[in-house]
């Protein structure tokens, strides 16, 4: 079994000129992600954590992945952030989100991404 990337399906991701209004992939970077060819269990088990971190470290789209997962997890506490994404655990991603939030509060102009 290989990991399959699900296209973004927000209302603006539909091409209404296509038959059935099918979803359009808005994150083409996912096509280059190392994780697409690996078993999903690697990213969500303690046993696979070291391998997941190693694979993410060599992934050409790690930065895009981090930005996407932080956007997806916005507002979630560390306990609700599962798996390894961009080489980081849920706790590590929560810490980055918190740091960015604090930076935005102290300097909203430079923290805007």
Evaluate whether residue 37 is within a structural domain: yes
Assign 2 a pLDDT band (cuts: 50, 70, 90): very low
Q: What is the pLDDT of residues 70-94, one digit of tens each?
A: 999 998 888 899 999 999 999 999 9
Evaluate whether residue 71 is within a structural domain: yes
Evaluate whether residue 52 is within a structural domain: yes
- Spell out the residues 6+ positions from residue 75 whose beta carbon is closer than 8 angstroms to its own: none
Q: What is the pLDDT of residues 26-64, one digit of tens each?
A: 778 899 999 999 998 999 999 999 999 999 999 999 999
Q: Which residue has the higher pLDDT, 35 or 7?
A: 35
CB count within 10 Å of CB 63 equals: 11
71-77 contacts at long range (C-beta below 8 A, 24 or more positions apart): 73/97
pTM, entire model: 0.69
The range of the structural domain enclosing residue 74 comes to 11-106
Number of domains in the chain: 1
Q: CA-CA distance, 67 to 58, in Å (whole number)?
A: 17
Q: What's the CA angle centered on 33, arms 28 and 39, to 5 degrees? A: 130
């Amino acid at each position: 079994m290989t990991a399959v990337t699900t296209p973004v399906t927000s209302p603006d991701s539909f091409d209404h000129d296509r038959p059935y209004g099918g979803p359009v992939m808005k994150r083409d970077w996912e096509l280059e992600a190392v994780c697409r060819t690996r078993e999903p269990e690697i990213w969500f088990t303690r046993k696979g954590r070291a391998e997941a971190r190693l694979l993410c470290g060599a992934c050409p789209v790690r930065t895009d992945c981090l930005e996407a997962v932080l956007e997806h997890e916005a507002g979630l506490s560390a306990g609700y952030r599962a798996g390894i994404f961009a080489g980081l655990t849920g706790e590590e991603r929560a810490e980055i989100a918190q740091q960015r939030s604090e930076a935005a509060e102290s300097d909203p102009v430079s923290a805007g991404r």
